[in-house]
C-alpha cells in the first residue's frame, strides 16, 4: 500500500510514540563522525530488521536514507 507523504499515522501502535524524541542517523554521524565497523554493522542489521518488519505488513518505505533512520539510544 502506498502512503502519501510518508505518513504512517495509525499504522503502528502508541508504543512507538518514543520516536518523536529521537535523533536521525545523519545527526549522529555529523556529531560523532564515522562509526566503527561493529557499530555500523549493528545499525545495518537493525535497519534490515525494521524493513523486514514493515515489508511483512505490505508497507514499502521508498526513501531509506540516514536522515530517515531514527536512533533512540
Region of residue 51 (left: phi > 0; alpha: psi -120 to 50; beta: else) = alpha
Residue 49: in which H helix or E strand, if any?
Answer: helix 37-56
Q: Which of 34, 36, 63, 72 is catalytic?
A: 63
Is 63 a known active-site residue?
yes
Q: Are 62 and 7 in contact (CB under 8 A)?
A: no
Catalytic residues: 63
Amino acid at each position: 500500500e502506498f502512503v502519501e507523504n510518508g505518513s504512517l499515522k495509525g499504522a503502528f501502535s502508541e508504543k512507538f510514540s518514543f520516536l518523536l524524541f529521537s535523533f536521525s542517523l545523519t545527526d549522529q554521524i555529523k556529531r560523532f563522525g564515522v562509526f566503527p565497523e561493529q557499530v555500523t554493522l549493528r545499525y545495518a542489521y537493525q535497519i534490515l530488521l525494521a524493513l523486514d518488519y514493515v515489508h511483512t505488513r505490505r508497507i514499502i518505505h521508498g526513501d531509506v536514507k540516514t536522515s530517515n533512520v531514527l536512533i533512540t539510544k
